[in-house]
């Protein structure tokens, strides 16, 4: 069997353009941190390092499971989408987004059956096959967003404030408020192959009772 996150985790990744409240369980990710404008080359290089490792993990797991004969065993999985935690540094303007003042953690989710040892082995392999100094900055960690609200944003990343305004209005209606300055973005589209007005991005932030 193949683990398909789109089918099995619809509560997280099947959100529509209407805000929803949810409790996000603990998930595991390979992560890498950075700072600055996401349009800069450094950001692209960090994405490249993450994807190289993500596919390395997938290939290693698939190869290891070839001998497994159990009918219900997960013998393969679809690579999760790129996600990012974003925050504007204190030095940035509070009224307008300054991309060069951003700090971020970008990540790719891993199924529950992927272990720390599997990630370490894949990392050693990919270092040999596709060298990249950024591999040493990648971590394997568990993150729990907990009580959150999210919405599907369709369109340019620069137009995201419109969808965040919908989230803010939804939170106020539900008697909630943001509990963190950090927000999460989940990129369901390939930005290099998708028109800006067709991009699909899930926007999420953590909330608490007022």
pLDDT of residue 111: 97
* 102-110 and 82-88 beta bridge pairing: antiparallel
- Dihedral angle computed from the Cα positions of residues 111, 117, 120 and 122, in that order, rounded to the nearest 10 degrees: -60
pTM of the model: 0.93
Is 3.20.80.10 the CATH number for 2-209? yes
pLDDT of residue 90: 65
**Residue ranges covered by each domain of the chain:** 2-209
C-alpha–C-alpha distance, residues 198 and 84, integer Å: 19
Segment (H or E) for 102: strand 102-110
pLDDT of residue 93: 43
pLDDT of residue 108: 98
CA 201 to chain centre: 10
What is the mean pLDDT of each successive set of 10 residues along the chain, which is 210 residues long?
95 96 97 94 96 98 88 91 90 63 96 97 96 96 98 96 97 97 96 95 97
């Amino acid at each position: 069997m193949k683990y398909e996150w789109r089918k099995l985790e619809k509560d997280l990744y099947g959100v529509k353009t209407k805000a929803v409240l949810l409790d996000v369980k603990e998930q595991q990710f390979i992560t890498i941190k950075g700072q600055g404008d996401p349009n800069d080359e450094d950001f692209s290089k960090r994405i490249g390092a993450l994807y190289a490792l993500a596919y390395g993990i997938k290939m290693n797991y698939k190869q290891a499971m070839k001998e497994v004969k159990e009918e219900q065993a997960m013998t393969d999985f679809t690579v999760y989408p790129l996600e990012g935690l974003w925050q504007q540094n204190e030095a940035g303007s509070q009224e307008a987004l300054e991309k060069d003042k951003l700090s971020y953690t970008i990540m790719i989710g891993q199924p529950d059956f992927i272990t720390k040892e599997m990630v370490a082995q894949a990392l050693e392999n990919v270092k040999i096959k596709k060298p990249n100094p950024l591999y040493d900055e990648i971590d394997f960690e568990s993150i729990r967003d907990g009580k959150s609200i999210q919405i599907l944003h369709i369109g340019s990343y620069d137009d995201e404030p419109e969808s965040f305004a919908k989230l803010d209005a939804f939170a106020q209606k539900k008697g909630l408020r943001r509990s963190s300055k950090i927000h999460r973005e989940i990129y369901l589209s390939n930005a290099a192959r998708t028109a800006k007005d067709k991009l699909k991005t899930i926007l999420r932030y953590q909330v608490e009772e007022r």
